[in-house]
A and B are shown apart, each in its own frame.
Chain A
Amino acid sequence: MSAVGFIYPQLCFSNNAIISTFPGTASMLSGVAAAAKAKGYKDYHVLGIAGDGGTADIGLQALSGAIDRRDKIIYICYDNEAYMNTGIQKSSLTPFGAKTTTTPPGKNIRGTLTVKKNMFEIIAAHNIDYAATASIGYVQDLINKIQKASLVDGPSYIHVFAPCPTGWGIKTDETFEIAKEVVDSGLWYLAEYENGEFTLNRNPREFTPVENYLKKQSRFRHLLEEDIIEITEARDRKWERMRRQWNKN
C-alpha cells in the first residue's frame, strides 16, 4: 500500500488514514481505537487492512494482542498468498505446492512444502467476537460480513481471499473467476465464527475439480499427479472435519 497508493503528495483517501509499520497494523489500530474512546467519539469505525505476510507472519503477535484486549477494531486480511509487494515470496499463507520466487520448483523441491496456515481458526481460538472468511469471488457475502463486523462492539477479523494476477500467473480478467472457483473447488471456504460457534456459509454438494483450479495458474503448473492427489485429499479431510464439527447454513 505504502509503495503504490500512498505516495506524497498524491494521497488517495478522503477519510483519515495512516500506514503502519509492517508488524504494527493491529497495534496501531488499537492506539487509534483507544484515542477515539478517550475523545468520547460515538459514530466511527477503526478499520485496518494488511496482507497475508503482514497478518500471518510479521503482524501475528500484534494482532493476537489486539484481539486478546478486545479492542474495537475491524481487521481485514487481504490474502493473495505471498509477499507480492516485494515480488512473490513465500508467506505462511502460501499454499502447498505453489511456486514463488523463494520456493522455486526444481528437480529436488517442487515449490512450497508447507501447507497454508489456518489463520481463521487461530483467530477464532482467541474467542474473538466475530471472525469470517470471504473471497472477492463472492462479493455480496464479503459485503455482508464487513457490515456485520461494523456492528461488533469488540474486535472482528475478516480473511479475504484475493488473487494476484502477476504472482499467480493468471490474466487480470480471470481474477474474479479464480476467486470464485477456489471456493467452488473447496480449496477455500466461506465461514463465520461468532458466539463461540463456527458456521459454514457455503457447503457445496459437489466440488469442482481441484485440478481445473490449479492448472489455470502458472504457479501450480509444475505439480505432478501425486501432488494434486495430496492437495485433494487434504481438502477432503478438512471438509470432513468442518462438516462434522461446524454449523451449516
Chain B
Amino acid sequence: MKAIRKFISGDDAVAEAVRLASPDFIAAYPITPQTVVVERLSEMVEDGSLVSEFMHVESEHSALSACMGASAMGVRTFTATSSQGLLYMAECLPYASGGRFPIVMMNGNRSVALPWSIYGDHRDSLSQLDSGWIQIYVEDAQESLDMTIQAFAIAENAEVLTPVMINLDGFLLTHTYELVEIPEKDIVGSWLAPVDNPYAMNFDNPRNMGFSSQPSDNTEFKYQQHKAVEDSRKIILETEKSFEQIFGRSYGGLAAGFMCDDAEFIIITLGSVTGTCRTVVRELRKEGIKAGLIKIRFMRPFPTDEIIGLTTNAKAIAVLDRDISFGYEGTVFTNVNSALARTHNDILKMNYIAGLGGRDIPKESIREIFKELEEGLTTRPDKAVKFLNLNVETDEKYSDSEDNSTQHHREGVLLWS
C-alpha cells in the first residue's frame, strides 16, 4: 500500500483522517486542545485538498445541531470538540444517538471546570457515557488517524447508525508529535463505502423525523438503540479486520490485552497512559513478576467479555481512572467491576484515580500500583479507591497493616526496590 509518513500531532492526524474520509459537512467551533483540528481542516478546504461544506458555527450546541440537520439529509458529517464544549452540546448528544444520526466527532479529552483546567483527563467524555454514542479511546497519533477513518465506517454501517465519539487525551496526544503513516486518499476512498442511509430525508419518500413518543412505544425505540450499540461489536471487529487487510494495522478490538495470558497482576487503562503502563509491564516481566495490561479501546459498547477473558488468571487488577464520580469511584472502575462481578468475585480489584487535570502519571507510580496489588492480596484493603500521588492530608487508610500509610500517601511514590 502506498502511503507517506509525516511527523505530526494527534490533532493533525485526526484532520488528515477527516480529509481522507472526506465528509460532505463539517461544523467547526474552536476549543483548546481541539483547535488544531478545525484549523487544519479549514486550511484543507482553502487549498482544495478537502471538498466539504465547512460551517463556522457560533457554539458547540449549534455544531452538533447542524451536524444532525446535515446527517438527516444523508450526508457524511464531522465535528470536533472538548470538555466545556462537549458539555455545552450535551443536549444534542442523546438527540443525535436517538435520531440515529451517524455523526463522527473527535473529542480532545480535557478536564471540566471548576476549577478551570485546559489539561487532560476523562471526565468530559465519561460524563456522557450514557448518551448513546459509541466511545473510542486511542493511545497515539497513528491510532487516532486509523480510528477516525474507521469511525465513519462503524457509525454509517446500516446495522449501527449510531454516532461515534473518538477520544484523544488533551495535549498528551492532541499536541504530541509522532511519525504517522498517512494512506493515499484514493485507497481510503475505495475502502470506505459512501454513506447510504436508507432513513435519510429524500424527495421521493419524505421523512418526518425527531418526533415524540408515547409510553406505549418509547421503550421499543430505546431497546432498538441499545441493540444497535450492542450489535456494533461485530461491525467494529469486522471493520478493524478489513482495515488491517488494506492498511496493515490493527489494535486489538474493543479491549487489547498485553501479556495477559498468565498475568496475575493486571492494570487496566484508557488512552495515552497505556504506553507508560506497557513499558512498566515489560520491566516487571523481566523482574519475574507476572504483570499484564488491558487497554480499553471502546467504553461503549463495553468490552465485558474481552475483560473477563483477559483476566482469567488474574489475582488482582487495578483500574487507572483519569476521572472520579464524586461520592463513589472512577467510572471506568465501575464498568470493569460490573463486568467482573459475574465471574471474578474473588480477585482483588483496586481503583487508582490519577492524571486529573493533566497531572503526569510517572512510571514509578505505575510500579507502585503493581506493588500494592501484590501486597493487597494479604492485606485485603477495605477501600478500593485511591487517589494517586495525593498532596493533601488524608486520614483515609487503604491498608490496615501500615502505620505510616498517611506519610506514604503524602510522599506519593514509594519506590519498589
Taking Cβ atoms with an 8 Å cutoff, the residues of A that contact B are: 2-3, 6-8, 11-21, 23-24, 26-39, 61-62, 64-65, 68-69
Contacts and interface: CB of A to CB of B under 8 A. Distances in A.
A2 B211 contact: yes
Nearest to B51: A38
Interface stretch (B56-64, B114-122, B155-163, B392-400): B56-64
Contacts of B70: 31-32, 34-35, 38
B208 A11 contact: yes
A7 B213 CA distance: 6
Given A3-B212, A8-B212, A21 B92 contact: yes
A164 B285 CA distance: 75
B68 interface: yes
B73 interface: yes
B329 interface: no
A187 to B, nearest CB: 32
Nearest to B23: A38
Contacts of B75: 35, 38-39
B259 to A, nearest CB: 46
A6 B203 CA distance: 19
A21 B91 contact: yes
B211 A8 contact: yes
B56 A69 contact: yes
B24 A38 contact: yes
Given A16-B206, A34-B25, A34-B66, A11 B61 contact: no
* 3 A-B pairs with the lowest CB-CB distances in the bound complex, closest first: A31-B69, A65-B58, A35-B73
6 contacts: A20-B210, A21-B65, A28-B69, A30-B69, A31-B72, A62-B62
Contacts, number: 145
Nearest to A3: B212
Given A16-B207, A31-B70, A24 B24 contact: no
Given A21-B91, A39-B73, A39-B75, A2 B62 contact: no
B201 interface: yes
A24 B69 CA distance: 10
Interface centre among A15, A16, A31 (most CB of B within 10 A): A31
Contact of B209 (A7, A19, A36): A19
B403 interface: no
A56 B137 CA distance: 39
B306 to A, nearest CB: 35
B65 A24 contact: yes
B59 A61 contact: yes
Nearest to B92: A21
Contacts of B71: 31, 35
B284 interface: no
B69 A7 contact: no
A46 to B, nearest CB: 9
B217 A27 contact: no
B99 to A, nearest CB: 8
A2 B71 CA distance: 20
Interface in B162-208: 201-203, 206-208
A31 B206 contact: no
A24 B62 contact: yes
A35 B74 contact: yes
B211 A31 contact: no
B211 A7 contact: yes
Contact of A24 (B52, B92, B211): B92
Contact of B68 (A16, A31, A69): A31
Nearest to A44: B203
A27 B57 contact: yes
Contacts of A69: 55-56
A34 B53 contact: yes
A33 B95 CA distance: 19
B200 to A, nearest CB: 9
Contacts of B57: 27, 30, 65
A18 B65 contact: no
Contacts of B404: none
B245 to A, nearest CB: 30
A21 B67 CA distance: 13
B25 A18 contact: no
Given A2-B212, A14-B206, A19-B209, A61 B66 contact: no
B19 to A, nearest CB: 16
